[in-house]
Chains A and B, each alone.
Chain A
Amino acid sequence: MQRRFIPRQGLEPLIRQTLDAGYRLHAPQSTDGAILYRPIHHSGQLPWGLHDHQAPGHYRLLDNGSPRAFAWATGPQALKPLLFRPSEPIWTLDLDSDGRPSFIGAAHTEAPLALLGLRPCDLAALALQDAHFLHGPYPDPAYAARRRGLLTIAVNCSHPAATCFCAATGDGPNAQGGYDLLLDELDDGYLIESGSAVGKTLLDRLDTLPATDMQLEAMATQRASAVRAQQRKLPNAEQLARLPAQHDHPHWAEVAERCLACGNCTAVCPTCFCHAHRETPALDGQSSVHSREWDSCFTSGHSYLHGHVVHTTTRERYRQWLTHKLAGWVEQYGRSGCVGCGRCITWCPVGIDLTVESAALVDANPAQGE
């Protein structure tokens, strides 16, 4: 793949070309004290100069005057809420004058979506959400409609947070694929390459320069240092395979004492897909909206079966989350459900760290996890 260079101000034509191609373009922006993906119209809306400070249960944005727009790690959400909506109607039920029901499925007519600034961990999470929503025996129509035509403009992660460990899961900080366009942000501009035909068409419409040896060298140095900057590690696959056998480990109860069972970890997790279905009938009882919304294995409703809640304690719920995420997914989807983004660590109100807890459970020293 031919790598090209665009100067700092070259992001503006990239945004313009994407919008002109008919996409709804979302890009990172500083919103309510965090980096969130929002609709964007010009490059001035990007989070120029912002850096994030992340620690367990802690997130702050700081302006460090950097000339960069992508000098931060993941915010609380990226692609998940845009494809797997937090809450959406699935169908509407109407009764006619004779009381006969008719079901009307929700229509999906949005313009194709494009994202600028996705991280390699977000791309890995996208592949996992695809595995769940698209590649099973019953593809999900709502997800499929929004996934179709999705344009991904990824940016390699040059500034991992203290909570990041994508190098340990093999999902970052440098993308291996799954993007239409990929950028490396340097001090004077961007190296850009395409990963698909759609991406190449878009790239061909931009004024680019050939990448110089110096720029390529700066890129390689930056990529390597982003790997070295990561401080956390997950136990390796062999160690995590021991997790289901730790069903009665006393450590589950120890975590449960600290865990709020609030479900924040599952809501910010870019791969968690559990949802609940709700019926909202109109007061006159003549119609009803059936919707699905994000659920969490930390709610009582998640394990409610025929009048009985299976997982009544936080200990059981935390065990369900961690065991499924790190071991159950391997059986279901061929790999662990963790892409190393560290969101569950940062956004846990009490800073519970799955790298530490999983290591304690499989008797692994996380520092030697790889």
Chain B
Amino acid sequence: MKPRIAVHKFSSCDGCQLAFINAGPDLLKLGSLVDILHFAEAGMCDEEAEVEIAFIEGSVSTPHEIERAHKVREKSAMVITLGACATSGGLQALRNLHDQDAWIAGVYASPEYIETLPEARPVSDFIKVDFEVWGCPVNPAQVFAVVRSLLFGAAPSLPEEKVCLECKRRGTVCTLVSKGVACLGPVTKGGCGAICPAIGRDCFACFGPAEAANTGTLANRLHGLGLQPEAVARRFAFINNNAPEFLAEARAWRDSHEPDKSHGRGDSHERADSHERADSHERADSHERGDSHERGDSHERGDSHEPGKSHEQEQQP
């Protein structure tokens, strides 16, 4: 018997399911290797089918989705999350940081019809997840590599390195170092192929926090590049805002203009600031940055630096 597969959709944009649908010939090949029993977006509907592998796209954000998650777990030998929403809560978990009741009351004429959980949560908060595929959206090559491993009967594994190494292998010039762009690559799990820096942009951490992610030091660096604390917070409070490492950093920088007092890692902030970088070099560059939401901040930011105190002057023997 061919292995049976189900693809379930929870709270999400459907973009990760496209990893299968857009696969072209590989999708046909997959169809000959497995039986796809449930995949609503592709036309197969049997949500309660027993399967060997269940993929879940989307976060758990309603009471009904909690029930569905448990049902998927009961019916599936293996559960794999597909993408940022299912794995960390995704973009919609941003609402966890705000007053949800006030929002619902403000947006909907009849808020009593809105049935939602207080927070959008990752699937693993409710059921055991056997493997997580990160990304917003996922990289189809990674999804198919996982499927292939499982068909071989091998435990799936994906590289744990940071986006920076993918950048360097591509020969991309570091956007942070050469343009002063507020890139999150140094704390972000690779897997995307470093596509954003390759066009001169910053990494938005779609693939979530990397292992050994030193978010505190990178946040200080972004601050030094000209980002106001709120802007630093927004960098982390984005696609994978609910991933614990990013959430902690976002909260620390959002809650206070004096992050050292609330952060509990005050030492590392101060130390990184005093050691590293050439803040004064970057000041002019921050005006050019493409990010419209940060542009206003970068102007004010320059003033808080000591003029002319460049790194070379600090460090030259």
Contacts and interface: CB of A to CB of B under 8 A. Distances in A.
The secondary-structure label for the interface of chain B is: helix
A133 interface: no
Contacts of B311: 55-58, 351
B312 A350 contact: no
A284 B312 CA distance: 56
B214 A259 contact: yes
Contact of A300 (B165, B178, B211, B267): B211
A189 interface: no
A314 B278 contact: no
A346 interface: yes
Interface string B256-274: 0000000000011001100
A300 B310 CA distance: 34
A45 to B, nearest CB: 17
B272 A77 contact: no
A256 to B, nearest CB: 8
Contact of A56 (B168, B178, B200, B277): B277
Nearest to A33: B178
Contacts of B200: 32
A36 to B, nearest CB: 7
A278 B238 CA distance: 31
A283 B174 CA distance: 33
B150 to A, nearest CB: 11
A261 interface: yes
A86 to B, nearest CB: 4
B161 A285 contact: no
A208 interface: no
Interface in B14-59: 26, 29-30, 33
Nearest to A302: B161
B187 interface: yes
A356 B274 CA distance: 14
Interface of A: 31-34, 36, 53, 55-60, 76-77, 81, 86-87, 162, 231-233, 254, 257-264, 267-268, 278, 280-285, 293-296, 298-301, 312-314, 317, 346-353, 356, 365-367
A55 B278 CA distance: 7
Contacts of A347: 174, 177
Nearest to A53: B281
Contact of B178 (A32, A298, A312, A348): A32
Nearest to A312: B212
B169 A293 contact: yes
Given A57-B278, A258-B271, A264-B186, A349 B221 contact: yes
Given A57-B221, A365-B317, 11 more contacts: A33-B173, A34-B178, A56-B277, A86-B169, A231-B317, A233-B317, A262-B165, A301-B159, A350-B217, A352-B276, A353-B315
B151 interface: yes
Interface centre among A31, A32, A294, A352 (most CB of B within 10 A): A32
A260 B187 contact: yes
Contact of A262 (B145, B151, B186, B276): B186
B268 A294 contact: no
A257 B211 contact: no
Given A34-B173, A58-B278, A283 B317 contact: no
A200 to B, nearest CB: 33
A55 B174 contact: no
A84 B96 CA distance: 47
Contacts of B30: 283
Nearest to A278: B159
B169 A87 contact: yes
A93 B158 CA distance: 21
A299 B163 CA distance: 11
Interface string B151-174: 110000001111011001111111
Interface in B201-223: 211-212, 214, 217-218, 221
